[in-house]
Amino acid sequence: MKKNTRGSLIWLRLSRFTHQSNNLSNDFLKQFDLTTAQFDVLMQISTYEPLTQSELADKVTVTHGGISRMLARLEKEGLIERKQDWKTKTISLTNRGREKLDNAFEAQLEFQSSFFDECLSLEEQKTLYSLMSRVQKNSEKKYLLDR
């Protein structure tokens, strides 16, 4: 068996943390009748509305096919609305969607922050944030070059 590189070990830890964090968040968000993916989609819509389905798909972790099914479900539940403006269909939150997001937001923020607050000092959190920002920006460059 070959020896792993430090980069591959970091990537593996990040992947495992992301998976575990998403599972825990899905359990946590059940009290708000949301999944982690739905929470992310509602957050992105809230931040950038109105936006197209394609713009939304580029901002979230849901696949392009998955986003269509999720949007249909969110629309059926009355959380979003899609409006046709000539050739462009845009997505916005409804009042009900905004209320659901508002109810879950603070609790989810506190829950996610607890992963770091419980084991890292403020200085360590700042360092981790800075390092992860650099890594993420580098991956964005690579992603855009490959497209």
AA identity, residue 97: G
* Residue 1 pLDDT > 70: no
d(CA 103, CA 34): 11
Per-residue confidence at 142, pLDDT binned at 50, 70, 90?
confident
* pLDDT score of 121: 97
Report yes or no: 78 and 96 within 8 Å, Cβ to Cβ: yes
d(CA 4, CA 125): 26
Q: Give CA 34 to chain center in angstroms.
A: 13
For the chain, domain boundaries: 15-108
d(CA 127, CA 137): 16
* pLDDT score of 147: 67
Per-residue confidence at 81, pLDDT binned at 50, 70, 90?
very high
- Which of 103, 100, 82 minimizes the C-alpha distance to 91? 82
* Residue 114 pLDDT > 90: yes
Question: Which of 1.20.1600.10, 1.10.10.10, 1.10.10.410, 3.50.50.60 is the CATH number of 15-108?
Answer: 1.10.10.10
